[in-house]
Amino acid sequence: MTFEQYISHPAETDDGEPTLLVGEGDRFDDDGHLRTVADRMVEACQGQTLTDGTPAEPVAEVIGLTHDFAKLTRWAQKHLRDQPFQHSDEYRYHAFPSALVTLYCLLECRDEVGDYAAEVATLVVAGHHDRRSPPEPSKLAENYGRATPEGQPTADVREAYERVDKQFDDIDDKVPDRADRIVRAAAEGEGEGSWSGLREWHSDRTEPVDGLHDHLMCFAQMGDRDTGDGYYADVVRLWTALKLADQTAASGLEDDDIGGTLPDREALGQHVDDLNEGEGILADLNCLRDRARRGATDNVEALVASDDVDLITLPTGFGKTYAGLSAGLRAADINDSRLVYVLPYTSILDQTAGEIQSVFGVSPYSKAFTLH
C-alpha cells in the first residue's frame, strides 16, 4: 500500500492540512517537515561547537533531515491517518530506525563528523519522543545493546532489530525513491550516501543476527560511556534544538512567529512608580524597593562587561523580584539575549509568574513570556 502524500503529522483541525514529510511533489523545500526542522536546527545551533570540536551545524542538519525518516513505513502513515493496521504498535514507532539512518549519514557519509558526534546525534534522534528528557544512553543500551551471558542478543533486542529489518523492507518495497532522496540530502558533503548503501551497511552491521553484531556492540558501549559534563551538554544542545524545531514546524508556525521579544522594562518602572504613590510606612517601603531596583539596574552594564555574577541581598518584602527582573532585562537588552528566571519551588514559581503577567501584561502564550 502506498500513499499519494507522505505526512509527518496529521492536520491540527478537521478542515486543516496535514504536514508533509518531504514537500509537495517530493520536493525538499520549506513545505516539507524534514527540511523545515533541519533549517531551524541549523539556525538554533549556529556558531556552536560540540565537545570534540565538531561544528554543531552539520550534525544538526542531519538530525533534522533524518529524525522522522521511518515515518515512511505504511504502519506509521496509517497511524498518522488514524487508520487501523494488523501489526503491533511497535511497527509504527519511528525513532530507532530513524536513528540508524542518522548514524549512517554521519558515520559513513560526513567526513567532517567523527564517532563522538555521530553517537550523540543518534542518541538524540532515538530518544526524541522519550518521556524522560533529555534522552539517556543507558536506555538506548538497554533496548538495543543487551546480550545474554552466552554472547547472544536478548529476545527483546533481537526482536527490535528484526522489526527494523521489516520496516526498512517495507520502505524499500513501497517508497525507495523517497527514501533515497532523504538519505542523499542528509549525506551531502565530502562523503556519499544512498538508500541502497544504507541497506547494505545496516545488513553488514547486524550480522550475525543471533550474535554480538556491530549495532548491538555500538549501543552497548553507549551505556558504558563515562558521560561527563561535555557529553551531557552536547546531548541537551542538540535535543533542545530538535524539540524546538520539530514542535514549531509540526504546529505550523512560520519562522517569523518563533522569535521572542523581551517584556517592556518601562512597564515595571511604571508599576513601581504607581506603588510609590502610597502613604506612610508603605510609601517609605516602596521608595526603598525602588532604590534597590535602580541600584541593581545601574550596575548591570559594568557587570556584563566584567562577565561576573551579581548577588542581590535584601530582606523579605524589600523588592528582590523587581530588582532582579529589572537588572536581568537590562542585561538581556545589552546582550541581545533572553532572560531565564529560575526558582526552586513550584509555589514560588506560580506566584512570581502571576506577578510577571500582571506587571507586564503578558501571558505564557505570548512572545515575551513563557512558563516551564
Q: Once rounded to an integer, what is the mean pLDDT over residues 144-169?
A: 94
Q: Once rounded to an integer, what is the mean pLDDT over residues 302-327?
A: 85
Tell me the three cell numbers of residue 255. 519562522
Task: Output the pLDDT for position 13.
Answer: 63
Average pLDDT, the chain: 88
pLDDT beyond 90 at 80: yes
The rounded distance, in Å, linking the Cα atoms of 194 and 144 is 24
Q: Once rounded to an integer, what is the mean pLDDT over residues 324-337?
A: 90
284 vs 69, higher pLDDT: 69
State pLDDT tens for residues 169-219: 999 999 999 999 999 999 985 557 999 999 999 999 999 988 899 999 999
- Cα distances from 126 to residues 225, 270, 319, in angstroms, run 17, 49, 46
Task: Output the pLDDT for position 201.
Answer: 97
State pLDDT tens for residues 112-139: 899 999 999 999 999 998 877 788 898 8
User: What letter would DSSP give residue 190?
Assistant: S
Closest CA to 102 of 32, 157, 34: 34
SS3 167: helix
Task: Output the pLDDT for position 102.
Answer: 98
Which single residue is written with the C-alpha cell 556491530? 214
SS3 134: coil
Task: Output the pLDDT for position 30.
Answer: 62
The rounded distance, in Å, linking the Cα atoms of 162 and 170 is 12
Q: Quickly state the pLDDT bin for 165 (edges 50, 70, 90).
A: very high
Q: How many CB atoms lie within 10 A of CB 346?
A: 8
Q: What are the percentages of helix, strand and coil residues in the chain, rounded to 5?
A: 60, 5, 35
